[in-house]
Chain A
Amino acid sequence: MKFMLDIVTVTAISAGAFFFLAGTVGLLRFPDTLTRLHALTKADNLGLGLVVLGLLPHAGSLRGGFKLVCVWLLALLAGATVSQLIARAALASEGSGSFTVDGPQP
């Protein structure tokens, strides 16, 4: 049983680290603000979520595990909302210098 939980932990945390890598590389290499935002949210949702999933077996108590999930849900809520705000501000002020927007313009 413990071995199974260890397997779950290692797999989940490795997958979470992979998504962090993907998000960071996207943030560094993608051409404009909106695509970088898209990459960033993957690190937020999946990266943190998988890390939390991997840490749940080691939480120690039900309350600890509940707190871990709460941290993830909060990060999800805040990250999703702020991404929306940044994206709208980016679209609203194209070409003003505050944001870089490449590609086909609406």
Chain B
Amino acid sequence: MTIASALEMALAAVVLGMAIWTVVARDSFAAVVGFVAYGLLLALVWVRLDAVDVALVEAAISGGLGGVLLLGAAARTAAAESRPPAEHPAVRAAAALLAAAVAAALAATVFLLPDPAPTLAPAAAANAASTGLGNPVTNVLMAFRAMDTLLEKVVLLLALVGLWSLARDRFWGGHPGPRHRADPHGTLAFLARLLPPIGVVVGVYVLWAGANHPGGAFQGGTILAAMWLLALMAGLTDTPAISSRRLRLVLVAGPSVFLAVGLGGLCFGAAFLAYPAAYAKPLIVGIEIAMTLTIAATLGLLLVGAPERSAE
């Protein structure tokens, strides 16, 4: 057994142990920290599996945004935690059985896959020249399965609308989340002034590098969203009112540009979302830039929550 495979087994064991502990931890805050650590370790696993794009998303989402989201949820449900659970033990047993059945079905599917597993990877790699991009993941996301990516962005938007619908009637159209205040000369404000410019540069870099190296719109958008959240948490800026026209324009920019290019492909090209060979790369980059802004705004708004204050 080589050192590398021993390391991989050790890493897998630690990841599994962390996951089990997250489930059985009594205190929800401890479980959240365990989940964040589990996400960081999973990023290592993704790198080991040669899926660096996924590792980028894992590091950004579970390392950064996931922790913030879950901590907020834990804080809000802290009052309910102290009460004893209301369900009948039989309900819990049935839920456990159902979860075990789903896990068994997934495991069986993985083990029963034919060896070698059916894959379209060679076909995707062979057609990489049609877009001129070097990163096969971006090729699949933006060219070969562009329809899926377009619909995913619409789903993100629907999730945001669903979240906004949780607002009380009198706060509709107002500012999401509480107004954060921090000492303007303090440490948090200092970090929130220094880190976001660096973060914006890194986010744009990750977006730009997605053409030929691991990266892309989603990873870049997540980093930008995290930087915006940092400025929010330090009280340097306030959340925009959700009735703001500019905000809504940014939110629909990504899917709209995508849809417009798709319809253009229908009118001037072969099919919906078909890129003319000469313009494929500029079109894809243009769509990705619009999508990054939309993803950054949507993820940020998903994390701050439903409107809690009326628009002044």
Contacts and interface: CB of A to CB of B under 8 A. Distances in A.
Interface of A: 74, 77-78, 81, 84-85, 88
B187 A88 contact: yes
Contacts of B194: 77
A81 B198 contact: no
A77 B187 CA distance: 11
B195 A85 contact: no
Contacts of B187: 81, 84-85, 88
Contact of B195 (A78, A84, A88): A78
B16 interface: no
Interface of B: 187-188, 190-191, 194-195, 198
A95 B188 CA distance: 24
Contacts of B198: 74
Nearest to B198: A74
Contacts of A85: 187-188
Question: Which of A74, A78, A81 has the largest count of B CB atoms less than 10 A from its CB?
Answer: A81
Nearest to B192: A81
8 contacts: A74-B198, A77-B191, A77-B194, A77-B195, A78-B191, A81-B188, A84-B187, A88-B187
Given A77-B191, A77-B195, A81-B191, 11 more contacts: A74-B198, A77-B194, A78-B191, A78-B195, A81-B187, A81-B188, A81-B190, A84-B187, A85-B187, A85-B188, A88-B187
Contacts of B190: 81
A81 B198 CA distance: 15
Nearest to A98: B29
Contacts of B188: 81, 85
A73 B191 CA distance: 13
A97 B204 CA distance: 42
Nearest to B205: A67
A100 to B, nearest CB: 15
B262 to A, nearest CB: 36
A75 B198 CA distance: 12
A30 B188 CA distance: 27
B108 to A, nearest CB: 39
B41 to A, nearest CB: 15
A78 B64 CA distance: 13
A88 B182 CA distance: 13
A74 B198 CA distance: 9
Contacts of B191: 77-78, 81
A24 to B, nearest CB: 14
A81 B187 CA distance: 6
B65 to A, nearest CB: 15
B203 to A, nearest CB: 13
